[in-house]
């Protein structure tokens, strides 16, 4: 033991013949209690420095031997309060968590997953309702056929990085309140890969992939709507250096239909019938997305009436089945009548005892209309 220095064995609470595992266990216990993240007060920080210095000495066989012979193995770093040159902070982490390597990340692989891609297609309403098959052309990154994704020319291969020796990272010493701490960062020469490509592939310039145009057949499921996205797994961008491909998303844009308007799984349209057909009733042949259908217009049908055709609407994307088709009826009132037509309508009005409506000077309707009834209701009696 050093004549002027502290008793490192006593500081850690171990015997002088303690083995490496006992020393590590004792230091780990104390470090968990005194680490600045747990006890930020200055007294705990100073004690943490002391036990760390004790662990540095007793965990190193050469320094421990020098200490047992009465030497001071930390004298070159200014006493027991600091770390000696080159003391790896990984030793502290190893004592804390029982791990090895002090957080070493190691080289990272060059192969990475490719990005997702998206393309938009336009379809008509019939394709959205019944589904369809479409061929689309996409421009994406594909694996380079020349180097098969390696990024190296055919007569070469990646070599170990001379700076990091294949580790993918370099270490440097930084000074902190604990003393000198060893930290790691990705190697700037190989960008953390641990290897370099001295002779890149001339086709892909070392990326392992090239831009290409290809045709894909996709199935548009029944019931898609405007903005629906179809996911094609593995059909996106191929990753660098042979990495797996991302996904391709196909966004559907449904073109407006000249007759039908879609609202969820319902279809709506308008049908105009003559005034006489609405009064007498008729059967109208109507073209739906499923083909021609005969629609019955009952006698006395009023403007704004709705006819419902069950199961002729849009398909449901989830759950199956189809919605309904709603036909909104409009009654066409003639705007120009010849003398004979006018006479016939007057004759019909006389037969039905329907007086001609006329507007009086106060805006009320003759015969006790709405305005007259309102006036009578609020007049003083």
Residue 355's pLDDT band (cuts 50, 70, 90): low
Q: What pLDDT, on the 0 to 100 scale, is given for residue 303? A: 92
User: What phi-psi label fits residue 151: left (phi over 0), alpha (psi between -120 and 50 degrees) or beta?
Assistant: left
pLDDT at 1 over 80: no
Q: What pLDDT, on the 0 to 100 scale, is given for residue 61? A: 85
CB 183 within 8 A of CB 210: no
pLDDT at 42 over 70: yes
pLDDT (mean) for 132-147: 92
d(CA 52, CA 181): 12
Q: What pLDDT, on the 0 to 100 scale, is given for residue 5? A: 66
List of E strands, the chain: 117-123, 132-143, 159-160, 169-176, 179-186, 195-196, 209-220, 229-232, 248-254, 261-263, 266-274, 282-288, 291-297, 306-309, 325-332
| Predicted confidence (pLDDT) per residue in 218-252, tens digit | 999 999 999 999 999 999 999 988 889 999 999 99
CB 328 within 8 A of CB 306: yes
Q: Over the range 36-66, which residues count as b (16 or more CB within 10 Å of their CB) and which as e?
A: eeeeeeeeebebbbbbbbbbbbbbbeebbeb
Q: What pLDDT, on the 0 to 100 scale, is given for residue 103? A: 43
Instruction: Give percent of the chain above pLDDT 70.
Output: 80
Residue 84's pLDDT band (cuts 50, 70, 90): very low
Q: What pLDDT, on the 0 to 100 scale, is given for residue 252? A: 95
Q: What pLDDT, on the 0 to 100 scale, is given for residue 64? A: 86
More confident residue, 131 or 80: 131
Q: Please state which of the ranges 105-114, 266-275, 285-294 shows the lowest mean pLDDT.
A: 105-114
| Predicted confidence (pLDDT) per residue in 250-265, tens digit | 999 999 999 999 999 9
Q: What pLDDT, on the 0 to 100 scale, is given for residue 374? A: 44
Q: What pLDDT, on the 0 to 100 scale, is given for residue 238? A: 92
d(CA 346, CA 327): 32
Q: What pLDDT, on the 0 to 100 scale, is given for residue 299? A: 93
d(CA 340, CA 336): 12
| Predicted confidence (pLDDT) per residue in 174-215, tens digit | 665 556 677 778 888 888 889 999 999 999 988 999 999 999
Angle at 371 between CA 367 and CA 374, to 5 degrees: 110
Residue 94's pLDDT band (cuts 50, 70, 90): very low
pLDDT at 311 over 90: yes
Residue 267's pLDDT band (cuts 50, 70, 90): very high
DSSP-H helix ranges across the chain: 8-12, 20-34, 42-59, 61-68, 89-97, 125-130, 275-280, 339-351, 370-378
CB-based burial label for 320 (10 Å; 0-12, 13-18, 19+): exposed
Residue 363's pLDDT band (cuts 50, 70, 90): very low
Q: In what order do the strands lie in the sheet with 306-309?
A: 261-263, 266-274, 325-332, 306-309
pLDDT (mean) for 63-73: 78
CB-based burial label for 294 (10 Å; 0-12, 13-18, 19+): exposed
pLDDT at 321 over 80: yes
Bridge partners of 326?
268, 308
Q: What pLDDT, on the 0 to 100 scale, is given for residue 105? A: 57
DSSP 8-state class, residue 328: E
pLDDT (mean) for 21-47: 81
Q: What pLDDT, on the 0 to 100 scale, is given for residue 186? A: 87
pLDDT at 326 over 60: yes
Q: What pLDDT, on the 0 to 100 scale, is given for residue 156? A: 85
Nearest Cα neighbor of 149 from 139, 161, 159, 158 is 158
pTM score, whole prediction? 0.58
More confident residue, 181 or 92: 181
| Predicted confidence (pLDDT) per residue in 22-34, tens digit | 998 898 888 878 8
Contacts of 180 (CB under 8 A, 6+ apart): 77, 82, 83, 84, 85, 86, 87, 173, 174
DSSP-H helix ranges across 131-231: none
For the chain, list the domains and their CATH numbers: 8-97 (1.10.287.110), 261-332 (2.60.260.20), 339-378 (no CATH)
Q: What pLDDT, on the 0 to 100 scale, is given for residue 95? A: 43
């Amino acid at each position: 033991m050093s004549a002027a220095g502290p008793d490192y064995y006593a500081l850690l609470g171990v015997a002088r013949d303690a083995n490496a595992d006992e020393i590590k266990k004792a230091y780990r216990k104390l470090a968990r209690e005194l680490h600045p993240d747990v006890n930020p007060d200055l007294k705990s920080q100073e004690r943490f420095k002391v036990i760390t210095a004790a662990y540095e000495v007793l965990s190193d066989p050469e320094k421990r031997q020098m200490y047992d012979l009465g030497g001071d193995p930390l004298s070159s770093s200014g006493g027991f309060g600091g770390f000696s040159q080159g003391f790896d902070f990984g030793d502290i982490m190893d004592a804390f968590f029982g791990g090895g390597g002090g957080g070493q990340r190691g080289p990272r692989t060059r192969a990475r997953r490719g990005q997702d891609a998206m393309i938009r297609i336009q379809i008509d309403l019939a394709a959205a309702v019944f589904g369809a098959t479409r061929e689309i052309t996409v421009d994406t990154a594909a694996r380079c056929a020349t180097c098969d994704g390696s990024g190296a020319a055919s007569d070469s291969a990646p070599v170990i990085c001379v700076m990091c020796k294949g580790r993918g990272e370099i270490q440097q010493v930084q000074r902190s309140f604990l003393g000198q701490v060893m930290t790691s960062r990705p190697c700037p020469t190989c960008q953390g890969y641990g290897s370099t490509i001295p002779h890149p592939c001339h086709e892909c310039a070392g990326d392992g992939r090239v831009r290409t145009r290809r045709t894909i057949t996709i199935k548009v499921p029944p019931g898609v709507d405007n903005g629906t996205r179809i996911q094609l797994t593995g059909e996106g961008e191929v990753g660098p250096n042979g990495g797996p491909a991302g996904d391709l998303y196909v966004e559907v844009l449904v073109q407006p239909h000249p007759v039908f308007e879609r609202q969820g799984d319902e279809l709506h349209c308008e049908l105009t019938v003559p005034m006489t057909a609405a009064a007498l009733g008729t059967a109208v042949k109507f073209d739906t997305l499923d083909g021609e259908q005969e629609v019955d217009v009952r006698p006395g049908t009023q403007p704004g009436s709705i006819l419902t055709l069950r199961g002729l609407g849009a398909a449901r994307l989830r759950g199956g089945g189809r919605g309904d088709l709603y036909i909104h009826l409009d009654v066409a009132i003639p705007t120009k009548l010849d003398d004979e037509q006018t006479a016939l309508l007057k004759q019909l009005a006389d037969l039905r005892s329907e007086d001609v409506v006329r507007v009086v000077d106060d805006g009320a309707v003759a015969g006790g209309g709405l305005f007259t009834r309102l006036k009578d209701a609020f007049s003083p009696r």
